[in-house]
């Protein structure tokens, strides 16, 4: 059995309708599955972090990142997509 590959995706910017829906759509279209998600809005500032399973052979990390980057540009928000192992290594003491 293959080990699960995960991506950490964070979104930050001015709140507007459809951010979660559009990020979710791109994940779905790339055969990625949301494992965990947290979002909040503080004084009109939207922030979200989610963990996605990107283990599917149909899911290309590079293609997913490219599409999410383009979505961030269209929505005027910052979307950062990282492989979980890199994210975890960066945040170890």
Q: Using CB atoms within 10 A of its CB, is residue 64 exposed (0-12), middle (13-18) or buried (19+)?
A: buried
Q: Give whole-number Cα distances, 12 to 24, 86, 87, in Å.
A: 15, 20, 17
Domains of the chain: 6-91 (3.30.70.260)
- Give mean pLDDT, residues 13-30: 97
Report the share of the chain in percent with pLDDT over 70: 89
Residues 6+ apart with CB under 8 A from 55: 2, 3, 4, 5, 6
pLDDT, one tens digit per residue, over 45-84 is 999 999 999 999 999 999 999 999 999 999 999 999 999 8
Residue 86: pLDDT over 70: no
pLDDT, one tens digit per residue, over 29-55 is 999 999 999 999 999 999 999 999 999
């Amino acid at each position: 059995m293959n080990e699960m590959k995960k991506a950490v995706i964070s979104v930050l910017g001015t709140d507007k309708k459809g951010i979660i829906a559009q990020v979710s759509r791109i994940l779905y279209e790339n055969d990625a599955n949301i494992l965990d998600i947290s979002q909040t809005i503080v004084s009109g500032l939207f922030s979200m972090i989610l963990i996605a399973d990107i283990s599917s052979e149909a899911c290309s990390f590079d293609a997913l990142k490219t599409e999410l980057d383009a979505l961030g540009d269209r929505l005027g928000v910052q979307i950062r997509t990282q492989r979980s192992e890199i994210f975890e290594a960066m945040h170890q003491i």
